[in-house]
Amino acid sequence: MTDYASLGLQKLVRLTISPLTISPQAQTFSIVVITLAVGLALALAPFSMAVLLVSGSFFFILALIYPILYLYLLILIIPISSLLAIQVGGIRVGLMEVVLAMGLFTWLLKALAEPALSGQKLTIVTGPLAGPFLLLLGGLSLSWLITLSIGASLVETLKWVEMLAVYLYVINLLKPHQIKWVVIVILTAGLIQAGLGLYQFIFKAGPDGFLLFDGRFLRAYGTFAQPNPYGGYLGLVLPLTLALTIWLLTQNLVKPRDSQQSKLGRVLKLGLVSLPLAIMVAALLASQSRGAMLGSAVAGVVTLMVWSRKIALAMAGLALAAVMIGLISSFNLSLTPPIDSGDAGSPYNAIVQRV
């Protein structure tokens, strides 16, 4: 399992660089020089930088054995990627792009070494969404013909290319038994952002322009610099949290019916299971992002509809009623006299128009 990285690197070097013959003495000398250089750099570097280099090197070596670790790291750093970004050729490159590139490089090493280890041909699973992704990218490329800014079009198109790369990376490396760890990391990242947002909301840690309710509170924004993208991020994590909460409640509180468990114990267990969902909902409300709250509400309803057939039928009935009300309201059934546009400023006409 640990040989695929070295085999893949050797194959990659043979594909890109002409073979070189190096004597054993030169190899030993090179290893000694590199070791001394690394030790000297760590000795002269500040303590925080040395810790970062050592931990980063340890993670890189471990990720060569388990490439899926890059996915876990990617999930955690997405909220802070914009804070650690630099401009490269007019394009903003963040920590997320760096980690994704390292993960794809490790996947390439694994793919190149796989035939040598297993004796099978190189295969890349595309999955059911690769075709739609390519169609979308084709449509985006057509929009380049009438774009007003090539730079902006390139940046936005690269985001969709990144999504395709992440999709292929996950579908080829993620095993079924690793899905639970992905869910745990997603919830951990969401809880960290929710806790930070609630701190900002209560202690008013942020710009004055985000103050709410006569300065009593402040709109939560997390590490996203703005409340709306922060609310959007929580809106992506909340449906997963709701689904997991429903599953935990049905598995641990509804089905077992353990008579030996006290009522207080069941209530405490219920509170513990529901705590992450409650924290994220509170943080979403603290953002005061109406779009994010509306989107989260719709996502929550869809999640409940998938979970319960009764809820799905009830929502279908409500949707049908809404359609009927909309059709009826489209007819001119006004019971009030037409409003004179010249007298639209009167209180009576203002109330009628509002209704």
pLDDT at position 195 is: 95
- Domain ranges within the chain, ordered by starting residue: 3-123, 178-307
The pLDDT value recorded for residue 354 is 46
- Which tokens in the block code for residue 197? 């947002």
- Look at the block and give the residue holding tokens 């690197």: 9
- pLDDT for 17: 47
CA 355/CA 349 separation, integer angstroms: 10
**Radius of gyration of the chain from Cα atoms?**
28
- In this structure, is the dihedral angle defined by the CA atoms of residues 343, 346, 352 and 353, taken in order, positive or negative? positive
d(CA 157, CA 60): 29
pLDDT at 260: 56
pLDDT at 96: 87
pLDDT for the residue 325: 82
pLDDT at 351: 46
Question: Which residue do the tokens 């202690």 mark?
Answer: 203
- Burial grade of 104 (CB within 10 A; 0-12, 13-18, 19 or more): middle
Q: What is the pLDDT of residue 71?
A: 93
CA–CA gap between residue 112 and residue 122 (Å, rounded):
7
Residue 11: predicted pLDDT:
54
Q: Residue 72 has what pLDDT?
A: 94
pLDDT reported for residue 226: 92
d(CA 56, CA 58): 5
Q: The tokens 């719709």 sit on which residue? A: 298
In terms of DSSP bridges, do strands 211-212 and 91-93 run parallel, antiparallel, or are they unpaired?
unpaired
Under-50 pLDDT residues of the chain: 1-2, 15-18, 341, 351-352, 354-355
DSSP count for the chain of H helices, then E strands: 13, 4
